[in-house]
Structure 1
Amino acid sequence: MTKKLLTGLVFCMALTAVFPILFLICGSFMGNMEIRELLMPVLGNMEGFASWKLMPQYPTMMHYVELLLDSPEFFVMFWNSVKLTAAILAGQLLVGTPAAWGFARYQFPGKKILFTIYIALMMMPFQVMMLSNYLVLDQMRLLDTMAGIILPAVFSTFPVFLMYRFFQGLPEAIMDSARIDGAGELRIFFRIGIPLGSPGMISALVLGFLEYWNLIEQPMAFLKTKEKWPLSLYLPNISTEQAGTAFAASVLVLIPAVLVFLAGQDYLEQGIVSTAVKE
């Protein structure tokens, strides 16, 4: 009996979590008139309550056709998001992986203090660092450029923290055996550290993709030219009269994030577990 109750409770919680996605998918196949009738109390500031249907009365692909064929700015922002996300993740691998390896495998003066600073920076929200970032980017003449978004994110501390936990868990005996066989530190890093620590690197990439694909605050603060905006800034600029287009755009934005999450789900779970392990 208890098991059935728990199963039912979990099912209800899962349905509650999935409902917004069903809301988006159904809305993307509804016509403008049907959406207006259901959401008029919200979109038209009228009295009463909005209603919704799980199945559109007259399904249509009009919003997807309009978005994919008649909205060139959608594709411009899509490729801006691809370039931003790919550049940030590649930079985090190049910068964060050696940093995490150094923290995990070597002892040096000030290591604990420096790592504590890393953790403190990781916990600071963007709003706290926004003004200082703006001033630095202004001095470097990187405002309103893609590099002004990419460079600060490349040096993010969270990937270092996540990969640090994986590298720290590698047996020291393997390193000692490699040193006895004549392997240098650089070779140990590339031949042992990266292959064995790849789950941590992949989990960092998955989490990074989910964050930077939906990046909105940094582009909104640092990018003024609309042609440089990522896809995450496309949706806030859709008017209430284009609710159907907004639903379709939300579904298309969601698809890459869902695919990446499903592909890296196992590695992501390992990353979450590793961050919970105490030293």
Structure 2
Amino acid sequence: MKSGGIMLRGKFGSKLYKGVLTAFLALLVVVFVFPIVMTTIHSFKTPSEIKSELKPIIKSSDEEEQNNQQSIGEENKYVQLKLIPSKATLNAYYDILLAQPQFLMLFWNSMRLTAPIVAGQVILSVLAAYAFSQLRFRLREPLFFAYIVVMLMPFQVTLVPNYIMANSLGLLNSEWSIILPGMFNAFGVFLMRQFMQVVPYSYIEAARMDGAGHLRILLTIVLPMCRSGIAALAVLAFIDNWNMVEQPLIFLKDAIKQPLSVYLAYISEDDIGLAFAASVIYMLPAILLMLHAEKELVEGVQLSGVKG
């Protein structure tokens, strides 16, 4: 009987744990999805409706009105959020996509900055990770430890050295002042090394006995076994660089060269509808990429921890 009671308590505890975990994860989903949903809904509202909902509304009772002078600063303020627009409109999207051509230009600036950085990060991370995981040379572990130290440092620490170097090379106010430093990412090397460490060294030795060089080994043996890791790295690198703000503000002086992430901060309150519409369009590439590579991203992140 005692063992049976322990088993029942164990099953109950397991179900309770799963229930609490499910509720907690559901709460996290709501917390992360709610801003996206509300941003999308507000993009279809008129500016006046958005202001009336987001601007704190003051309501006073009859008693407060009689004692108005004594109740200054004690007003009841709150924000109203409506899931359904009173009058849905596409005016904000029309203004953004057709009436303001500079928006598309800034969108293109974001793509022109992000795409080369992602491609460079993937290529350089794969090459460096192959060297750290498959090649045998002196100081390999100390050099990799240096990579880890760099990865733990906030990127703001490297802004001043990058600025000095870009200035000495005459790259200031050029997209290359952002692209070239962005291609080198210690986290990408760390992530890809975790994947490549699982490749059996016997495969590498067999390929070498057949006369294969490092490039052939990398392309025919290592990369096919690390496709999920490459996809995960590409998605994470895109999201990270798509949202860059500090680098353009420091390295790019001309507003016409700024990416869309900087433009969103300068939209005035009078154009609040444009701000929500621009935010929705700005989120689309990252969301679509996440959905397209969801399986590879989850598998890559999971396996990177297991293989480490």
- Report the TM-score range of the alignment, normalised by the length of the smaller protein: over 0.9
Aligned partner of 1:240 in structure 2 is: 269
Which residue type is aligned with residue 157 of structure 2?
A: V
Aligned partner of 1:205 in structure 2 is: 234
Which residue type is aligned with residue 198 of structure 1?
A: R
Aligned partner of 1:39 in structure 2 is: 54
Percentage of pairs with the same residue: 40
Please list every run of 5 or more consecutive structure 1 residues that lacks an aligned counterpart in the other structure: none
Please, which of 58, 74, 97 is the counterpart of residue 87 of structure 2? Answer: 58
Deviation of 1:266 (Å): 1.9
Deviation of 1:87 (Å): 0.8
Deviation of 1:170 (Å): 0.7
2: CA distance between counterparts of 1:263 and 1:94? 21
> Rg bigger for which structure?
2
Which residue type is aligned with residue 82 of structure 1?
A: M
Deviations 1:144-195 (A, max 9, x none): 1100000001112121111111111111122222223232222111211222
Please, which of 120, 136, 141 is the counterpart of residue 91 of structure 1? Answer: 120
User: Structure 1 residue 75 and structure 2 residue 104: aligned?
Assistant: yes
- Structure 1 runs of 4+ off > 6 angstroms? none
From the superposition, tell whether residues 204 and 5 of structure 1 become closer, same or farther in structure 2 (CA, over 3 Å).
closer
Please, which of 22, 25, 41 is the counterpart of residue 10 of structure 1? Answer: 25
Give the TM-score normalised by structure 1: 0.93
From the superposition, tell whether residues 12 and 194 of structure 1 become closer, same or farther in structure 2 (CA, over 3 Å).
closer
Give the TM-score normalised by structure 2: 0.84
Deviations 1:190-228 (A, max 9, x none): 211222222211111010011111111111111111111
1: CA distance between counterparts of 2:125 and 2:27? 40
1: CA distance between counterparts of 2:55 and 2:262? 25
2: CA distance between counterparts of 1:199 and 1:5? 31
* Count of matched residue pairs: 276
Deviation of 1:41 (Å): 2.8
User: Structure 1 residue 155 and structure 2 residue 170: aligned?
Assistant: no
From the superposition, tell whether residues 52 and 276 of structure 1 become closer, same or farther in structure 2 (CA, over 3 Å).
same
**RMSD in angstroms over aligned alpha carbons?**
1.9
2: CA distance between counterparts of 1:5 and 1:269? 23
2: CA distance between counterparts of 1:5 and 1:119? 35
2: CA distance between counterparts of 1:99 and 1:263? 27
User: Structure 1 residue 22 and structure 2 residue 37: aligned?
Assistant: yes
Deviations 1:107-133 (A, max 9, x none): 111111111111111121122222122
Which residue type is aligned with residue 90 of structure 1?
A: A
From the superposition, tell whether residues 186 and 17 of structure 1 become closer, same or farther in structure 2 (CA, over 3 Å).
closer
Aligned partner of 1:218 in structure 2 is: 247
Deviation of 1:142 (Å): 1.1
Deviations 1:215-246 (A, max 9, x none): 11111111111111111111001011111110
Which residue type is aligned with residue 29 of structure 2?
A: A
Instruction: Say which is worse superposed, 51-60 or 189-198, in terms of deviation.
Output: 189-198
Please, which of 139, 158, 163 is the counterpart of residue 134 of structure 1? Answer: 163
Please, which of 199, 202, 220 is the counterpart of residue 170 of structure 1? Answer: 199
Deviation of 1:6 (Å): 4.7
Deviations 1:71-105 (A, max 9, x none): 11111111111111111112123322111101110
1: CA distance between counterparts of 2:20 and 2:262? 42
From the superposition, tell whether residues 105 and 5 of structure 1 become closer, same or farther in structure 2 (CA, over 3 Å).
closer
Contact 2:106 2:256 in 1 (8 A): yes
From the superposition, tell whether residues 34 and 278 of structure 1 become closer, same or farther in structure 2 (CA, over 3 Å).
same
Deviation of 1:9 (Å): 4.1
Which residue type is aligned with residue 266 of structure 2?
A: N
Which residue type is aligned with residue 35 of structure 2?
A: P
- Mapping of 1:247-266 within 5 angstroms? 247-266=276-295
Which residue type is aligned with residue 84 of structure 2?
A: M
Which residue type is aligned with residue 215 of structure 2?
A: L
2: CA distance between counterparts of 1:9 and 1:197? 32
Please list every run of 5 or more consecutive structure 2 residues that lacks an aligned counterpart in the other structure: 1-14, 58-72
